[in-house]
Structure formats: C-alpha cells, structure tokens
Amino acid sequence: MVRRQTRTLALVALGLIVLVAAGCGKTKSARPPAQGKQPSPRASALATFNSNDCGQCHIFAPAKSTGTIGPNLNKLKAAARADGIPLGQFVYQAVTDPNTYVAPGYQAGVMPADYLSAIPPGKLTQLVTFLVMHTH
C-alpha cells in the first residue's frame, strides 16, 4: 500500500513539474499546434478527458462538461478531504480503481475500471494533474 502511495505521489509530482516547466495555461491561442509541436500538457490532458468520455458522466468546469451520472469533479478537494486522503492520491485512485471509494449517492461498478491499462502512463499523469490543479 505504501509503495502504491509513493508511486502515486511521484506520478503526480512528475506531472506537476511537467506542467510548470511547460508554462501550462499561459497561452490562450485557439490555433492548433504547428506541425511537429506537441500540444501543451493541459491540452493533452483535456484531450484525454474528452477522448475517454469523462464529460459524459461528470461535471467539470475546465472541460465544460455537464454529465450527471458520476460525481461533480469540481468538488474533488472536498471529497478527498472527507476521505482523509491527499488530493493527488485520491484522484489517481478514483480514476484507476474507481470502486475503492464510491461517492455517496452513486453506485459502484458504473465507472469503467480499466483506465490504468487503457490510458498510457504519461497521459494518465497529465489527466490526474489536470484534475488536481483545476478542482475546487
């Protein structure tokens, strides 16, 4: 368990370093990236969020999503605090092992449980970091 927590925190820290180094959120250009340039970590995380249909089930203001099948992702800090788990670890666990903690009023088994294998590790780190940095 401690090894998993250490790995989770390391992944979140790495994601935060990548976002800070890339200057996440500094540009607001609507233009697509030039050929050969990689999208920003924020844009990549948002693409991962959208391509996995997270917004179909969750409300999350930065993604302009309005789903109501799952919990409101704008309130992740409060949920982590209520569960007594650091936010980064809570978000990682909620994405990769969603039935470990099921928010009150929601059913277990609704959220896909294969994101750990379905989302490449770098993209998963970006997604978790994106959720951590933009929740209330």
Is position 124 within any domain? yes
> DSSP state, 99?
T
Whether residue 116 contacts residue 97, with contact meaning beta carbons closer than 8 Å, is answered with yes
Q: Is the pTM of this model over 0.75?
A: no
For 74, the domain range is: 2-19+40-134
Is position 32 within any domain? no
- pLDDT (tens digit, 9 = 90+) per residue, 56-98? 999 999 999 999 999 999 999 999 999 999 999 999 999 999 9
Which residues lie below 8 Å from residue 114, measured CB to CB, with a gap of 6+?
none
pLDDT class for 38, splitting at 50, 70, 90?
confident
Q: Please give the share of the chain, as a percent, with pLDDT higher than 90.
A: 70
Separation between Cα atoms, residue 68 and residue 24, nearest integer Å: 28
Is position 27 within any domain? no
Higher pLDDT, 28 or 106: 106
- Number of domains the chain is built from: 1
Question: Please, what sign has the CA dihedral across residues 19, 92, 51, 65?
Answer: negative
Is position 113 within any domain? yes
CATH number of the domain enclosing 15? 1.10.760.10
Is position 26 within any domain? no
pLDDT class for 12, splitting at 50, 70, 90?
very low
